[in-house]
Structure 1
Amino acid sequence: MGHWWARNIVEPGKLPLTLALFSFVLSFVIVRSIARLIRAGRGPFRNVTPGGMHIHHVVPGVVLVVIGGFGAVTSGRYGLGAAVCAVIFGAGAGLVLDEFALLLHLADVYWSDEGRKSVEIVVLTAALVGLVLGGFLPFGVNELSPQEARGRGLFAGDAALNFAFALIALSKGKPRTALIGAVVPFVALVGAVRLARPVSPWAKRFYRRRHRTRARAIRRAYRHDRRWAGPRRRLEEFIGGAPDPARTALPGGRDGGPPR
């Protein structure tokens, strides 16, 4: 365990990424906790509203991402400068992705049902970076040993095949599986061979005249959502807080019920 930790987490080349991940998670936890305290009216924290305009924390987050990103480009992977830029970049990314839903909808949906997308994207980002730290490479063929370099063509072919599986999973309406499958090949393969979601581009293209297959896809999607929607909602509320009850219903009645 100690050897794995030293090789994959604290070795000089991976230390900036490790610091960025820790800074990213810590900034998200801090800003989400402060937001929940402000919402509950507790503590000394208040919204920043100079001149009556609410300044969202995505604004300083973008500034930190720009500073940390450009600093990282000029400082390389080693040294104190790389470590400092990684911390700055991770903190800014945490602030930005905590309001990912606001950027997606171009509206203040932080405490609405749509705001759950921010929590989901933060969890996915942390998981993917953790997989990279653990030794998984997303379609990468860099830093090969001399023995591996001789099989570089085969390695690149495997990466291209896995990329194709990830694209298929994405077209089947499974973005989480596609993202994780971009790093873990077996996950992309599973997502590519399973039935598509009924409203996905794949289903619209290939299930249009296959009525039985489309019916199976609808039933499977409904059973999956009924089984996992509750646990996922409770986990997201535990991490990011429950949305405002007055704003949980989505337009068109998309907040529940079996598909038609």
Structure 2
Amino acid sequence: MHWTGAFVLLLFAVLVTGILLTLLHLTRLGKLVHEGIPDRPRRRMFLAALSFFVTFAGVRLLVRCITHHVGPFGWVMMGGRHIHHLVWGIFILLAVGYAWMAEWGSGTSAVSIFWSRFFAILYGVGAALTLDEFALWLNLANDYWSPQGRESIDAVILFGALLAAGAWGAPLFRRRQKKGSAPQ
């Protein structure tokens, strides 16, 4: 059986989302995240950052397997044209953007909190799929493994750092100010 990259990416995104949501709702880890990251926007940033890095690693592994003919994986082809995974990332980002503009997941009910977390995870997945091929945006060529492909890694590091700073940066700075003595 030959699995296309799209099927594998879809399966991977569903698994990442399902595992993260299960861990957040049904385990002690979810309680720790809720207590450790007390406000909702930072929890969404945390989930987006986590799913972003997991998806980036998974996509890099999948592309490596495809290019080295490891496993039953293959490129997504339509009419003889290779459909890059940044296309799927853009679709996901558009869907999440629409959901957030429609304020889905902005309430305080358990269902609303679930959707808030779900969309945060999908945002991380979509951003990783899109930024993993950032060099393709700039060069309009498939430079995945060339020196120009390094631009994608740089974009991932910068955006991942932004997500991580949003989740952890401000609380860390506030704690430091509270512990230190006030300037006189």
**TM-score bin, normalised by smaller chain:** 0.5 to 0.7
Q: Aligned-residue CA RMSD in angstroms?
A: 2.3
1:230-256 deviations in Å (ceiling 9; x for gaps) = xxxxxxxxxxxxxxxxxxxxxxxxxxx
> Hey, what does 2:75 align to over in structure 1?
47
TM-score (norm 2): 0.66
With over 3 angstroms needed to count, the CA separation of the structure-2 counterparts of 1:11 and 1:47, relative to structure 1, is same
Percent pairwise identity: 36
1:64-213 map, 5 Å: 64-73=92-101, 74-75=103-104, 76=106, 79-136=113-170
> Which of 23, 40, 44 is matched with 2:51 structurally?
23
Structure 1: 4+ residue segments shifted above 4 A: 4-8
Structure 2, gaps ≥5 residues long: 1-31, 172-184
Q: What amino acid maps onto 1:136 in structure 2? A: A
Aligned equivalents of 1:77 and 1:100: distance in 2?
34
Unaligned 5+ runs, structure 1: 138-260
How far, CA to CA, are the matches of 2:107 and 2:136 in structure 1? 32
Asked whether 1:33 is paired with 2:61, we answer yes
Contact between 2:45 and 2:164, CA under 8 Å: does it hold in 1?
no
- Total equivalences in the alignment: 135
Higher relative contact order (Cα pairs below 8 Å, separated by 6+ residues): 2
| Cα contact 2:33–2:43 (8 A) shared by 1 | no
Quote the Cα distance in structure 2 between the aligned partners of 1:131 and 1:36.
29
CA pair 6-53 structure 1, distance change in 2 beyond 3 A: same
Task: Give, in whole Å, the separation in 2 of the partners of 1:22 and 1:65.
Answer: 16
The one-character-per-residue Cα deviations of 1:15-72 (angstroms, maximum 9, x if unpaired) are 2221111111111111110000111111111111122100000111100011112212
Give TM-score, length-normalised by structure 1.
Answer: 0.48
Q: Which has the higher strand share?
A: 2
CA apart distance, 1:81:
1.6
Q: Deviations over 1:77-125 (max 9, x none)?
A: 7512211111111111000000000001122111211011101111121
